[in-house]
């Protein structure tokens, strides 16, 4: 026993010594292989299912292995033809026809046809779990008309439905018709039309996707492979980025200019356009005093948003205006609605509004509810989300200056989200919903159709606010195809929003994107905004994948 | 033999009880997995998807006892179900990506720490007041008192980032093909050095001190005096008489430590990006991934029970009194 016991550590120590003596020189990397950091995982699991959004399919399955018919570019507000070259509505707007690109082939060499598009949408109909965008709420039928045209028959006029159809990843019929259950199919050997379809390497710490041998854009992609290393935490991912191991990333990096850009100013770039979802302070409007618009506006005016974005967001963003729209909707913004004063810091006005609402200060300086109770509020955020926790601290302090006893309460994510969805909170910080037009955004902020009773789970409109007038405008928007009229209607919605202040906008989220041009060129930037830089930004990341090229040695 | 069977019966009941707890506890948590998953998209997926997500994950409103029987049935057939966080991958496949690395890294580290710590404890007690006893023992206890996370980060920063002696992350270099080649094995070992040493440094002091203290007590017994008086060689007295008797409490502790290897190396895996099961556990909790949580708890529970059973047998062999009792 004695000798056996001694043997184990000796063997292990020798092994460690041998190991430490072997070379630690990094082996040269394959030229043309782009290192991307987009998902944070401790180990990769092989899954390339593009249809089931709830799944953890590996990036870039939904826009890179597979492709959609048209791609929306937030910086220009335009649609770019992709698998489809054109689309046309019928006179009555009940039929939408896409003309498909000729000469496109699947990565296994078979031709891409209208039958594949029709089949993909039929799959969504058969398996509602795959229909994340809810296309079959407004569709009646999908038919292939010959090999290069596909017609979508609508059950009602619903113009915003276009984006759901145009952005749907299309799968090949000849592969997926043999799949027994497309919801639980992990699609280990994907066959797609996208630029990268070949799984070169797949291990728990690394995977690599190679070029589609039959890609329809001649000479593209110029990048020969995409390589992904498993980084379980932001810190590890950022370390690899700073060290120059990763070429393209979409991570939140604290003090990015100092820690990343200045390390190699010639090559390291970051671009954080404000295209992300707007962050709100949601008041539960079913509860007094938040059912009073004066109180909501008073809370909003008590906030010093400049300080908030400096402290909570490292100054990466700007205070929200009274439309709450992010910068991808710049063309939609109505100047009159945006000038609403209730999002500007004005303590005197905030105090006046509170007094008007009957919430006057008691002798101790604290405001009282009409029943004499001091106004005590709880502000809920997720425990580990440091930016929101900092924001919550700033907000609570500003509210205390208004004479409100505001307490910041942090919850574990699941508990926080459950309370938010069921409307069992007073104040909460949360995100908002987006789409190519502000339609989705405002529908979930203002439409009575999205209001659920307290206690019932709501996907959004957590503040539970509905306005009939705004809803009438949104409903007309659904059937309006003229861009001028659409803009007019949306301006009306924005004015309603600014008037009613159903939720308190704080700041639009940046879309995080970092790149190193040491080995590759062609990344989008503020000067060349052909797509968002963030690899999270699907599907316009398709444009980046096809635009990048290895730097000449 | 009777004793062994009785212990086995006890472990079976314990296994059943913990499996039941596995089932109950996650279901007491607020929120539901489809919402949690939906939330991860932070507004990038339309709300209409939520009902579809619920349908896909097969959420049933079936009464709890029905779900419980389905759960037991699936366990017996070895079917751990589909993970929510890695949907639609199988739980067994997800756990498989990490199990071997965790077992290898933390298992070796715990064994090294136990063996080296216990040996050091023996020598420290034997040469009481010597260098080992008065300097090394308190030094290791001091190191062990640091928060492990901080210790590991420091090691990573100094030896990985600063001096560049060891890799910063992962279990092997990403451009190597796994296999039984010398290059690959050496690479794996090199990647394991920092995480393993950090675990050993953090836990060595505990083993050493407990071994030393029991050993000191044993050294004062009549048995030892008799052994000395008989004129046995000191080494034999030290190991066969003193250490063997003093080892019992440490062996019991070792059983526990081995069992907790699977969950306990969680911080190590986070700091060193080691692809093990600890990180999977966090991910499972964060995403309310019940099947994955249950799968991991099952593995951990069975490991703890198996390790303790093995320790029971070991004690039976080390300590004749337990045999006499049976």
Q: Where in chain A is the domain with CATH 3.40.190.10?
A: 10-48+194-273+511-550
Q: Nearest CA to CA, how far is B270 from chain A (Å)?
A: 7
Does the N-terminal peptide bond of residue A60 adopt cis geometry, omega within 30 degrees of 0?
A: yes
Q: Which residue of A has its CA nearest to B178?
A: A203
Average of per-residue pLDDT across A244-272: 92
pLDDT over 90 (residue A404): yes
Suggest the residue from B41, B87, B270 to mutate for an interface test with chain A (most A CBs closer than 10 A). Answer: B87
What was the pLDDT predicted at A405? 92
Polymer length in residues for chain A: 553
pLDDT in tens, A439-450: 999 999 999 999
- Torsional class of A534: left (φ above 0), alpha (ψ -120 to 50), beta (otherwise): beta
Average of per-residue pLDDT across A292-302: 95
Question: Residue B98 is nearest to which of A9, A43, A431, comparing CB atoms?
Answer: A43
pLDDT per residue as tens, chain B (326 positions): 677 888 889 888 988 888 888 888 877 776 667 776 666 665 555 666 666 677 767 666 677 888 888 888 888 887 888 888 787 788 888 888 888 888 888 888 888 999 999 999 999 988 888 888 888 888 888 888 888 888 888 888 888 878 888 888 888 888 787 888 888 888 898 899 999 999 888 888 889 999 999 988 888 888 888 888 888 888 888 888 888 888 888 888 888 787 667 666 788 888 888 888 888 888 887 777 888 888 888 888 888 888 888 888 888 887 777 666 54
Q: Nearest CA to CA, how far is A264 from chain B (Å)?
A: 18
- Torsional class of B274: left (φ above 0), alpha (ψ -120 to 50), beta (otherwise): beta
B259 neighbors B305 (Cβ within 8 angstroms): yes
Homologous superfamily of A278-508? Dipeptide-binding Protein; Domain 3 (3.10.105.10)
The reply to whether ipTM tops 0.95 is no
Instruction: Tell me the percentage of chain A whose pLDDT exceeds 90.
Output: 73
Are A431 and B43 a contacting pair at CB < 8 A?
Answer: yes
Rounded CA-CA distance B306/A354 in Å is 65
A5 neighbors B119 (Cβ within 8 angstroms): yes
For residue A75, the SS3 value is coil
Q: Who contacts B301 (Cβ-Cβ below 8 Å, separation ≥6)?
A: B15, B18, B19, B22
Handedness of CA B291, B293, B294, B298 (dihedral sign): positive
Look up tokens 């593009």; give the residue.
A50
Q: Nearest CA to CA, how far is A531 from chain B (Å)?
A: 17
Q: Where in chain A is the domain with CATH 3.90.76.10?
A: 70-176
For residue B318, the SS3 value is helix
Please report the DSSP string for A72-107 in residue order: EETTTTEEEESSEEEEEE-TTSSEEEEEEPTT-B-T
pLDDT in tens, A214-230: 999 999 999 999 999 98
- Nearest by Cα to A360 from A395, A403, A400, A398: A403
Confidence of residue A24 (pLDDT cuts 50, 70, 90): very low
Suggest the residue from B30, B36, B46 to mutate for an interface test with chain A (most A CBs closer than 10 A). Answer: B46
Question: Residue B52 is nearest to which of A24, A132, A457, comparing CB atoms?
Answer: A132
Question: Residue A434 is nearest to which of B43, B85, B280, comparing CB atoms?
Answer: B43
Q: Determine which of A95-99, A298-302, B282-286 has the lowest per-residue pLDDT on average.
A: B282-286
Rounded CA-CA distance A99/A85 in Å is 6
What was the pLDDT predicted at B306? 85
Q: What is the DSSP letter of B136?
A: I
Rounded CA-CA distance B325/A306 in Å is 76
pLDDT over 80 (residue A55): no
What was the pLDDT predicted at B8? 87
Structure tokens at B211: 């071994």
Chain A residues within 8 A of B94 when measuring between CB atoms: 45
B49 neighbors A133 (Cβ within 8 angstroms): yes
Confidence of residue A5 (pLDDT cuts 50, 70, 90): very low
Q: Which residue of A has its CA nearest to B164?
A: A24
Average of per-residue pLDDT across A358-364: 90
- Nearest by Cα to B178 from A410, A206, A354: A206
Instruction: Tell me the percentage of chain A whose pLDDT exceeds 70.
Output: 94
Rounded CA-CA distance B168/B156 in Å is 7
Question: Residue B112 is nearest to which of A12, A130, A433, comparing CB atoms?
Answer: A12
Chain B residues within 8 A of A20 when measuring between CB atoms: 165-166, 190, 193
Suggest the residue from A6, A28, A37, A54 to mutate for an interface test with chain B (most B CBs closer than 10 A). Answer: A54
pLDDT over 90 (residue A290): yes
What was the pLDDT predicted at A12? 54
What was the pLDDT predicted at B305? 86
Are B57 and A206 a contacting pair at CB < 8 A?
Answer: no
Q: Where in chain A is the domain with CATH 3.10.105.10?
A: 278-508
Q: What is the DSSP letter of A153?
A: E
Chain A residues within 8 A of B281 when measuring between CB atoms: none
Q: Which residue of A has its CA nearest to B191?
A: A19
Are B273 and A231 a contacting pair at CB < 8 A?
Answer: yes
How many angstroms separate the Cα of A540 from the Cα of each of A251, A430, B75?
Answer: 17, 25, 44
- Nearest by Cα to B291 from B82, B79, B95, B66: B82
Q: What is the DSSP letter of B29?
A: S
Structure tokens at A271: 């671009």
- Hey, how many other C-beta atoms are within 10 angstroms of the C-beta on B129? 8
Rounded CA-CA distance B148/B210 in Å is 20
Cβ burial, residue A78 (10 Å; 0-12/13-18/19+)? exposed
Chain B residues within 8 A of A129 when measuring between CB atoms: 52-53, 55-56
pLDDT over 50 (residue A524): yes
A112 neighbors A172 (Cβ within 8 angstroms): yes
Q: Who contacts B129 (Cβ-Cβ below 8 Å, separation ≥6)?
A: none
Chain B residues within 8 A of A417 when measuring between CB atoms: 31, 35-36, 39
pLDDT over 90 (residue A396): yes
What was the pLDDT predicted at B42? 56
Are B193 and A20 a contacting pair at CB < 8 A?
Answer: yes
Question: Residue B88 is nearest to which of A128, A185, A233, comparing CB atoms?
Answer: A185
Are B53 and A434 a contacting pair at CB < 8 A?
Answer: no
Polymer length in residues for chain B: 326
Beta strands of B66-141 (E only): which ranges?
none
pLDDT over 90 (residue A45): no
Q: Cα A184 vs. chain centroid, distance in angstroms?
A: 24
pLDDT in tens, A303-336: 999 999 999 998 999 999 999 999 999 999 999 9
Are A22 and B186 a contacting pair at CB < 8 A?
Answer: yes
Q: In CATH, what class is A10-48+194-273+511-550?
A: alpha beta
For residue A279, the SS3 value is strand
Structure tokens at A364: 């101790």
Q: CA angle at residue B132 from B130 to B136, to 5 degrees?
A: 135
A53 neighbors A132 (Cβ within 8 angstroms): yes
Topology, domain A70-176: Dipeptide-binding Protein; domain 1 (3.90.76)
Question: Residue A54 is nearest to which of B56, B175, B192, comparing CB atoms?
Answer: B56
Are A16 and B193 a contacting pair at CB < 8 A?
Answer: yes
What was the pLDDT predicted at A1? 39
What was the pLDDT predicted at A378? 94
Rounded CA-CA distance A479/A475 in Å is 7
Structure tokens at A377: 């509020």
Rounded CA-CA distance A84/B162 in Å is 52
Rounded CA-CA distance A110/A221 in Å is 19
What was the pLDDT predicted at A519? 94
Name the CA radius of gyration of chain B, rounded.
24
Chain B residues within 8 A of A53 when measuring between CB atoms: 41, 45, 49
Q: Cα B73 vs. chain centroid, distance in angstroms?
A: 27
A97 neighbors A87 (Cβ within 8 angstroms): yes
Question: Could you tell me the strand order of the sheet in which A33-37 lies?
Answer: A196-202, A206-211, A225-229, A33-37, A248-249, A514-516, A268-270
Structure tokens at B219: 């050294």
Are B190 and A56 a contacting pair at CB < 8 A?
Answer: no
Please report the DSSP string for A497-526 in residue order: HHHH--SEEEEEPP---EEETTTEE----S
The reported pTM is 0.83
What was the pLDDT predicted at A3? 45
């Amino acid at each position: 026993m004695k000798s056996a016991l001694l043997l184990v550590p000796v063997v292990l120590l020798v092994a460690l010594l041998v190991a430490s003596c072997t070379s630690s020189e990094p082996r040269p990397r394959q030229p043309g292989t782009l290192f991307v950091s987009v998902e944070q995982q401790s180990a990769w699991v092989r899954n390339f299912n593009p249809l089931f959004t709830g799944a953890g399919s590996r990036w870039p399955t939904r826009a890179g292995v597979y492709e959609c018919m048209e791609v929306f570019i937030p910086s220009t507000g335009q649609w770019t033809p992709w698998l489809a070259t054109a689309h046309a509505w019928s006179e009555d707007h009940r039929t939408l026809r896409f003309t498909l690109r000729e000469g496109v082939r699947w990565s296994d060499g078979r031709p891409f046809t209208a039958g594949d598009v029709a089949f993909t949408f039929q799959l969504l109909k058969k398996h509602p779990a795959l229909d994340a965008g809810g296309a079959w709420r407004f569709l009646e039928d999908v038919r292939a008309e010959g090999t290069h045209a596909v017609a979508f028959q609508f059950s009602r006029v619903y113009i915003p439905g276009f984006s759901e159809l145009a952005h749907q990843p299309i799968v090949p019929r000849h592969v997926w018709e043999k799949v027994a259950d497309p919801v639980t199919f992990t699609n280990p050997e994907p066959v797609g039309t996208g630029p990268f379809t070949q799984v070169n390497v797949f291990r728990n710490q690394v995977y690599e996707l190679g070029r589609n041998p039959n890609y329809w854009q001649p000479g593209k992609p110029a990048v020969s492979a995409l390589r992904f290393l498993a980084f379980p935490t932001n810190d590890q991912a950022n370390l690899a980025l700073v060290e120059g191991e990763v070429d393209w990333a979409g991570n939140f990096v604290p003090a990015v200019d100092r820690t990343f850009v200045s390390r190699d100013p010639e090559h390291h770039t970051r671009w954080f356009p404000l295209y992300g979802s707007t962050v709100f302070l949601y008041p539960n409007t079913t509860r007094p005093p938040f059912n009073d618009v004066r109180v909501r506006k008073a809370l909003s005016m008590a906030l010093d948003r400049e300080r908030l974005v400096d402290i909570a967001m490292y100054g990466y963003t700007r205070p929200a205006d009274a439309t709450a729209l992010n910068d991808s909707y710049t063309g939609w913004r109505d100047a009159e609605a945006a000038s609403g004063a209730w999002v500007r810091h004005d303590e005197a006005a905030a105090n006046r509004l509170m007094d008007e609402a009957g919430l006057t200060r008691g002798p101790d300086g604290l405001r009282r509810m009409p029943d004499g109770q001091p106004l005590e509020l709880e502000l809920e955020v997720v425990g580990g989300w440091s930016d929101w926790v900092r924001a919550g601290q700033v907000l609570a302090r500003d509210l205390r200056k208004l004479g409100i006893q505001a307490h910041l309460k942090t919850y574990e994510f699941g508990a926080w989200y459950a309370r938010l969805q069921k409307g069992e909170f007073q104040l909460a910080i949360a995100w908002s919903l987006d789409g190519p037009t502000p339609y989705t955004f405002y529908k979930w902020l203002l439409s009575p159709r999205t209001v659920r009773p307290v206690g019932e789970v709501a996907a959004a409109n957590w503040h539970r606010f509905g306005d009939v007038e705004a809803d009438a405008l949104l409903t007309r928007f659904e059937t309006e195809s003229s861009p001028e009229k659409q803009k007019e209607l949306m301006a009306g919605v924005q004015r309603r929003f600014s008037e009613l202040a159903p939720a308190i906008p704080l700041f639009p989220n940046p879309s995080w994107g970092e790149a190193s041009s040491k080995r590759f060129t062609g990344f989008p930037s503020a000067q060349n905004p052909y797509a968002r830089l963030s690899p999270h930004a699907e599907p316009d990341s398709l444009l980046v994948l096809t635009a990048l090229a290895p730097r000449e040695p | 033999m009777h004793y062994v069977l009785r212990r086995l019966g006890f472990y079976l009941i314990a296994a059943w009880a913990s499996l039941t707890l596995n089932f109950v506890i996650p279901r007491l948590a607020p929120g539901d997995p489809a919402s949690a998953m939906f939330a991860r998209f932070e507004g990038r997926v339309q709300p209409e998807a939520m009902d579809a997500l619920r349908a896909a994950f097969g959420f049933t409103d079936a009464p709890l006892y029905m779900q419980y029987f389905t759960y037991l049935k699936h366990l017996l057939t070895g079917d751990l179900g589909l993970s929510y966080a890695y949907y639609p991958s199988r739980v067994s496949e997800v756990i498989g990506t990490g199990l071997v690395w965790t077992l290898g890294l933390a298992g070796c580290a715990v064994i090294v720490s136990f063996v080296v710590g216990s040996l050091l404890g023996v020598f420290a007690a034997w040469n009481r007041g010597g260098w080992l006893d008065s300097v090394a023992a308190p030094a290791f206890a001091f190191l062990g008192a640091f928060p492990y996370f901080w210790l590991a980060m420091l090691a990573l920063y100094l030896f990985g980032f600063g001096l560049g002696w060891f890799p910063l992350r992962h279990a092997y270099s990403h451009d190597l093909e796994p296999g039984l080649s010398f290059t690959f094995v050496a690479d794996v070992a090199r990647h394991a050095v920092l995480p393993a040493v950090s675990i050993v440094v953090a836990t060595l002091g505990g083993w050493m001190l407990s071994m030393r203290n029991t050993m000191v007590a044993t050294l004062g017994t009549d048995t030892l005096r008799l052994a000395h008086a008989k004129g046995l060689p000191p080494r034999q007295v030290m190991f066969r008489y003193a250490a063997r008797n003093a080892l019992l409490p440490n062996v019991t502790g070792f059983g526990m430590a081995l069992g907790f290897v699977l969950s306990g190396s969680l911080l190590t895996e986070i700091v060193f990006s080691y692809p093990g099961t600890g990180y999977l556990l966090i991910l499972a909790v964060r995403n309310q991934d019940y099947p994955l949580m249950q799968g991991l708890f099952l593995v951990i529970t069975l490991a703890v029970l198996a390790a303790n059973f093995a320790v029971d047998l070991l004690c039976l062999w080390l300590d004749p009194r337990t045999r006499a009792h049976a």
